[in-house]
Amino acid sequence: HQAYVDNLNRAVADYPDLQALSIEEMISDLDAVPEEIRTAVRNNGGGHYNHTMFWEIMTPDTTEPSDELADAIANDFGSLEEMQAAVAAAGLARFGSGWSWLVANEGTLSVLSTPNQDNPLMDGTGVPILGIDVWEHAYYLQYQNRRADYLAAWWDVVNWTAVSERFAAATT
C-alpha cells in the first residue's frame, strides 16, 4: 500500500493544485489531471483509496449493519445474503485483477466490479461503501486460486459499523 502512496506523491510533486485535493477529489475528476500523469494518478491514487477503504472495513470483531443500511440492503437486494451473493458474483466474474463493490448512488445500492485499481468514484457510478480486493495477492497465500472460497470467507471480517458509516455519509 505504501508504494501506491509514494508513487502518487511522486506523480503530483510538481502540481501543487493537485496536492491540495483530497484523494477522493483527485480520482473523481481524472480528466482534470494532466495527461502526462493521469495514468499514474489513476493507478496509484486508486490503489491508495481502494486499499485504505479495504483495511478500514475489516475487523476481527463481529458487527452488524446499521438499521438504515440493513433496510437499504433489504430494499435493493431482498436480503443481506442476496447482496453478499451479488458482490461475490461480481468478484468471481472479474477477469484478472480488480475489485468488487457495494455502491451507494442517489439513495440506492448496487453492485459492480472494476478492473485493476479503478473504482466507482472514477466514472461517477456512485460512492463505494464496501470494496473487496480480488487481486490474487489478496487471497493467494491462504486460498491459492480459490477466489470463491476467499469471497465467501471475507464476510466474516466485514466491519459493518464502518460500512454503515460510509453508507450514512454517502446518503446524506
Query: Mind listing the pLDDT tens digit for each residue in 3-61?
Result: 999 999 999 999 999 999 999 999 999 999 999 999 999 999 999 999 999 999 999 99
* Largest separation between any pair of C-alpha atoms in the chain: 49
Report the CATH fold assignment for 67-170: minor pseudopilin epsh fold (3.55.40)
Q: Alpha helix locations (H) across 29-170?
A: 35-40, 46-56, 67-77, 80-93, 120-123, 140-143, 147-154, 160-170
Going from the C-alpha of 40 to that of each of 9, 43, 59, the distances in angstroms are 10, 5, 30
Decide if pLDDT at 141 tops 90.
no
**pTM for the whole thing?**
0.94
Decide if pLDDT at 137 tops 90.
no
* Residue in 94, 4, 7, 19 with CA at minimum distance from that of residue 51: 4
Decide if pLDDT at 77 tops 90.
yes
Task: Estimate the crossing angle of helix 67-77 against helix 80-93, to 10 degrees.
Answer: 70
Cα 82 to Cα 49: distance, rounded to the nearest angstrom:
27
The average confidence (pLDDT) of the chain is 97
Contact 132, 37 (CB under 8 A): no
Cα 120 to Cα 123: distance, rounded to the nearest angstrom:
6
Return the CATH number of the domain spanning residue range 2-56.
1.10.287.990
Residues of the chain with CATH 1.10.287.990: 2-56
Decide if pLDDT at 140 tops 90.
no
Split at pLDDT 50, 70, 90, the class of 149 is very high
Q: What is the pLDDT of residue 115?
A: 98
Decide if pLDDT at 121 tops 90.
yes
Residues of the chain with CATH 3.55.40.20: 67-170
The pLDDT of 91-98, averaged and rounded, is 97
The residues near 142 (Cβ < 8 Å, ≥ 6 apart) are 150
